Structure 1
Amino acid sequence: MTTIQKKIITLTTIMLLVMLTIWLMMTFYNRQSLDKYNGILQRYLVLNDVNETSQQLLTELNNYLTAPSEQIIASIEEHKAELGSNEQEVWSLAHVENQFDITNYINLMDSLIETIDRSIILDRQQDPEAALSEFTDATRITNYISETTLALVDQELKTYDTFYRSIIEQSAALNQFGIWLLLWLTFSLIVVTYTLSRSITRPINQLTEAANALSRGEFDSEVEVDSNDEISFLARTFNRMRININTLISEIQLKAQLEKELQESKLLLQESQFKSLQSQINPHFLFNTLNTISKKAYLEQALETSDLLVNIAGLLRYNLKQLDRSVTLYDEVTVLKQYIDIQRARFTDRLNFFEQIDEQLLTVPIPALTIQPIIENAIIHAIEPNEDGGNIYFRIADQDDRVLIEIEDNGPGMSKEKIEQLLSGSIMPKEGHSTGIGFTNVVKRLRIFYNCDHLIEIQSELNKGTTISLRLPKQRG
């Protein structure tokens, strides 16, 4: 499968190769022309160096004859060495047309050096006239060198005139070739890019049309893409998706039909349950009935029975409220007293209840039905099984930023293992008789209500009673 990435990489590679080839050809041509230019320029520079060196030698000889010094002699020797090194470069300029002129040119250079040497020697031998005569010859030779240099340069210009003209013609042709090549590359790039983009966009357009048809709910139109790349794979995947969606819609329709039938069955079941509930006793009806019986007992002078019914009604009304509501310690203590009065009517002198309450703490918020289930568990385990009854101590005290609530009994107690299991919620203790709320439920609601742990502590030993301590924050977290 030819991927889109491969197509783009192939196009890019071809364009890079073409551009690299053109760049190499242009570089090679420019390098050749530049080498020829450098060669010609080097010939002119060599001839110019010979002319300048000969003029400098003549000037320094004149300075020496005027005021001899070792410094001038050193400078003359340096220029003589430079002129001698130029002879090898001048020999490299020789060709068939200037062979004689080059030979004569080199002889003039040698003659100049010899004349300068003779002039210096004669001056040292105290023969100024002869030294001056040699200086005159050196001047004449220097003039010959200058004339010969001009003649050689002129001859070089005539020799390479054809080359200069060919360079100009080649430059013009190269510029024209570059323009045509640029136009050809631009046209080729446009054609290839259009072809490549067409091979990519045409299948995408087909997929777009198929997606629009799918959005209109036409699930039967199949996508056909004749490319051999990722888009073809995408088209096949799109076709499989179309088939899966069509199948899924059929399944959803069938499931909707089944759910409709199931909903109708649920409605029938709810209707039957509602009719069944209508036949059950309403708790509020029971609460109102207890109030009615309490008033009737009061009118009949059965005061204890009336008070008991009032306490039961108050307890029932308190228990009918939501457990997640926030109440105060005052509300909890009030309903606790009603509950204790009911239990005293049941157990008579077997139940000894002692309370010690700090009245200033009764405004502290607390979850509903927190204290009564704990007292109820104490009655169930410490009072009810014991024929002689037992004692329950209820205390509310201030502990800085917390409220200490203690419920203590002299019952059979419990082991440390059971205490740990009770606090961790791994066991479910026996639920209360009246509220149906167990100790574990109280622990969980306290932790949720105050948003913290370590609120409850249990101290107990077997046959030594149990003390449950609640340390509750004065402000809800």
Structure 2
Amino acid sequence: MNSIQKKIWGLVLIVLLIMATTWVSLISYNQKMLDQYNGILERYLVLNEISRKSEDTVTALNNFLLLPSNDNLKAVTKNKKDIQSMKSEVATFKNVENELALTNYINLIESLVETIDSALSFHSEAETEYSMKAFNEATHISNYISEMALTLIDLELQTYDLFYRGIINQSEELKQLGTWLLLLITVGLLLFTYWFSQRITKPVEKLTLAANELSKGRFDLKVEVNSSDEIAFLAKTFDRMRLNINNLISDIHHNAQLENELQQNRLLLKESQLRNLQSQINPHFLFNTLNTLSKKAYMEGSEETSDLLVSVAGLLRYNLKHLDKPMTLYDEVYVMQQYIDIQKTRYTDRLNFYMEIDESCLSIKIPGLTLQPLVENAVIYAVEPNEEGGTIWFRIKDEGDLVTIEVEDNGPGMTEEKIQEILEEKVNTANGHSSGIGLSNVMKRLRLFNSMEDVMKIESTLGVSTKVSIKLLKERRGEK
């Protein structure tokens, strides 16, 4: 983990690196200019030294001719070697501008050395006249060397005049470059320091804002800090604390809600116990009465009325006993047919009902009283309001792991808003009618029964038709 301390040290190292790079660049540039200047000055010194050495050599030769001795001979020999050594160094000064003059200069040096050797040779052979002629010639050559040195220095000055001026200009430019470079480095460091400080202060500001929001009771805001230092670790710890507090509050609300529901259930249980005392008498009395009426109608020859009373009694018994029990699809279809028989007695030819059933699906389980509300809803909205009546299609389809049940009618249809209200369990479309169980109630029980949300689909076109489809799992989750 990169710490804030490491970031600060990184900033210091970057500043030191920039300063060191700038200093090394300036030192290198100055050293290069100094080397060039020293090289030119060295050329002048060598040329001047050769002129002086040539004069010293002639003086030493004169002393030797006047007073021959080993010391004077050694002085001549030493000066001659020095001149020969400097001649090799002068040869390296040659360029396009001074090539001819420098060649003549080197030839003069060679001539001086040869003339000195001739003078020494004639003196050793006691030929004084030739020796003096050689000495005089060496004197003239030495003077030529001095004059030629001045000529070469003048050529050097002309050649390097632009260089000298360039050094002056470059010195001024170097001052300006240093000033601009200093300003550039200062601005760059300020920008980098601002960016660097933002990398540290921004996470702190986010953490402060999150703490302020948390103090106001807002536990849903996630704390996000994009860094990899101690502040990020602190932010993650703070966010975990926020989640723990939020979960704790949620648990408290949930427990309070459960406690409230439990209290309401206790009240409902007491109420249901009182109502149960009444329901133990009324259904039996109603069933016995319907059966008595059915038998009486049959004995009087009203078989159709008898069948109708039997269907009503069976439907009532099923509705009261099997509302919260899983039944087979076969039982649900049978009860639904009893309901249709009752409605056909009521609407006669106004009700047209068609069925397409895959009988291999009739053994699967389904919540009790699921199909009747779907068909009842179609009867209420597609048949009852129309004088001409209406048509209802009922289908059961095998679709692999699912069974699809469709109830389609040619009624007035529904708007998209009404469909969404039903699917979102905001309305009860059949509330107040015979069973009192609407589409929303059916959908809610199917979701609990199948343990999934996608159990119902409604397709409708205004003025044309409505089709309600429900899905059933052949094997419910958790069952084998």
Please give the range of the TM-score, normalised by the shorter of the 2 chains. 0.3 to 0.5
Q: TM-score, normalised by structure 2?
A: 0.44
- After TM superposition, the score normalised by the length of structure 1 is 0.44
